[in-house]
Amino acid sequence: MSRVQLEIFLGSILIAVTGFILLYVGFNEEKRMEEFVRYQAAQKIEVGAQLFEINCRGCHGLRGEGIPGLAPPLNDAHFFQARIAEVGWQGGLEDYIIATVSTGRQVSTRPDLYPGAGSPAMPTWSDEFGGPLRKDQIETLAAFILNWEATATGDVELVQIPSSEPSAEELADPVARGLLLYNQSGCAGCHAIEGISVGAVGPNLTTVGDTAATRIEGYSAEEYLRESIVNPLAYLVEGYDDLMLKNFADTVSDAELDDLVAFLLAQR
């Protein structure tokens, strides 16, 4: 066999084999594409979960259970079964979530239960309306919130383990305890600290450890911070309204207040 003939022969075999590989791929495409649709939906939920922790837990709670006196639960049967009828929403629940989150909520529909940050009760989230999140991010948040349905309606029970976060007592460092409280007491929902939270209702606290001492004449940074939490009316930061919750004096213990202040002092 000459080289030309050999190459024609081997080449033909390779074309046939390559053809078979393509056929094999072709037969599996349907299944593979379905798998990718599921995979991409899964990824959306994962990303949404992350965004929820950064942006929403401060008001709606770590697991969407809501914070009484601040913002409503998003993980209960009422939200999934009765809420859109209650507010008279025309579309589906996903649309309701996307629309509500995108535009925020100027006035709470349940001001006695969940006044939120006052006015607006929930800030705008979509960057179309001046908020911090993109459309695709809000869609992932909706996918994540909708995924609570199975547990909300009791179809699925989750395994509960004793502790997810270290309890404040476990942490020896007051600053670390303060961070925990900052996230758990709703501060994160209204305030931004670089790398920790992105709330936009109140002033950015990234460097509050420095600025605190300059706010009120005669007040040390520590005294000022303590005062700001217990009695927000004492000093209104320029450009902000009186929106901070007034009941921290009751809900936060003295020890917790120390930790919060230590944490804020460390932000500089």
Partner 1 sequence: MLKSLNFSELFKNAKTAIDNRVRIITAGLSIIELRALLRGDPPTEKPNPRYKVHVTSFMFHIRPKFYQQASTIFTHTWRLGFFTVFFLALEIVTGLILMIFYTPTPAEAYNSILSLTSNIPFGKLMRDLHRLGAEGMVIFSVLHMLRTFLTGSYKKERSFTWLTGVVLLLVTLGLSFTGYLLPWDQLAYWAVTIGTSMAEAAPLFGNEINLLLRGAPDIGAGGLLRFYLLHIVLLPGIVVWMLSIHYYKVAREHSISLPAKYDREDLPKEITKKAKQRLDLLPDLLTHEVFLTTVGLFITILLTAFFYEAPLENIANPQQTPLDTKAPWYFWWLQGMLKMGDKTLMGIILPTIIFGILFAVPYIDRNPHREAHKRPLAIAIGLLATLTLVVLSYMGLPEYGIETPAAARIIQDLAPEEGLGELRAIPYDQLQPGVYEVNVTDAENMCPDLLWGCPILESVFVEYSDRVNEAAEEGKLPDAEAVLVIEEWQADLTKVTPRIIWSDGESGDRKSYEQHIFLHRDHDRDH
Which positions touch ligand HEC (CB under 6 A)? Answer: 55-56, 58-60, 71-72, 74, 79, 83, 97, 100-101, 105, 108-110, 114, 116-117, 121-122, 125, 141, 145, 185-187, 189-191, 199, 201-203, 208, 211, 215, 225, 228-229, 232, 235-237, 240, 242-245, 248, 260, 264
CB distance 44 to 36 below 8 Å = no
Give the per-residue contact string, 168-187, with partner 1 (x = CB under 8 A; - = no): ---xxx-xx-----------
Nearer Cβ to ligand HEC (37/233): 233
Nearer Cβ to partner 1 (174/189): 174
What is the Cα–Cα distance from 257 to 178, expressed in whole angstroms? 8
Both tokens of 137, joined, read 């991010």
Distances, alpha carbon 87 to alpha carbons 81, 100, 111, 147, 159, in Å: 12, 12, 14, 21, 33
Does position 25 bind partner 1 by CB under 8 A? Answer: yes
Does position 2 bind partner 1 by CB under 8 A? Answer: yes
CB distance 234 to 228 below 8 Å = yes
Distances, alpha carbon 36 to alpha carbons 28, 32, 39, 194, in Å: 12, 6, 5, 35
Q: Which amino acid, one-letter code, is at 45?
A: I
Binding residues for partner 1 restricted to 47-106, rule: CB under 8 A: 47, 49-50, 53, 63
Binding residues for partner 1 restricted to 139-168, rule: CB under 8 A: 144, 147-151, 155-156, 158-164, 166
For the chain, where are the alpha helices, taking DSSP H only? Answer: 3-55, 57-60, 77-81, 83-87, 93-103, 135-146, 149-152, 174-184, 187-190, 208-211, 221-230, 248-251, 254-265
Judged by beta carbon distances under 5 to 8 A according to partner kind, the member of ligand HEC, partner 1, none in contact with residue 97 is ligand HEC
CB distance 126 to 119 below 8 Å = no
Binding site for partner 1 (CB under 8 A): 2-5, 7-8, 10-11, 14-15, 17-18, 21-22, 24-26, 29-30, 32-33, 35-43, 45-47, 49-50, 53, 63, 132, 135-136, 144, 147-151, 155-156, 158-164, 166, 171-173, 175-176
